[in-house]
Amino acid sequence: MIRLNEAFCHLLLHAAPDLSEELDPYVSPIKIHPSNFHGSLRKGKDDNDTNCWASPSGKGFMIRGKNYLTDTSKVVGGDPLLQLIAVDWFTVNKPVDRIALHPKCLVQIVIK
């Protein structure tokens, strides 16, 4: 089984601009209305729901602080940089390369 997030991460790593500096806070975000996108797996209603997906808050994750390289301190994560809007779950018999580059992929539809 190939996981979509692996393919998407691969695309981001190989097609993303250099993010070694902080993101520009003056660039306007792209507005996407989540109700326009539906994946094959439904979004959960609450933490007890099953057979679904959910977006955890960053509060459950410890991330490297601003001075981590000098003091090795970690801080509680905050809100995610991006919002998960849909999840597709599928199985394949053989690996699928560059799935995020497929013309019908959500990533490609949003870009156009």
Share of the chain above pLDDT 70, in %: 72
Domain definitions of the chain by residue range: 1-16+35-40+88-112, 49-86
The per-residue pLDDT for range 15-34, each reduced to its tens digit, is 555 555 566 778 887 777 77
pLDDT at 65 (0 to 100):
92
The per-residue pLDDT for range 64-99, each reduced to its tens digit, is 999 999 999 999 988 877 778 888 887 788 888 887
Instruction: Please choose, from the candidates 25, 26, 55, 51, the residue with its C-alpha nearest in 3D space to the C-alpha of residue 40.
Output: 51
Instruction: Please choose, from the candidates 40, 17, 15, the residue with its C-alpha nearest in 3D space to the C-alpha of residue 106.
Output: 40
The pLDDT confidence band at residue 61, using thresholds 50, 70 and 90, is confident
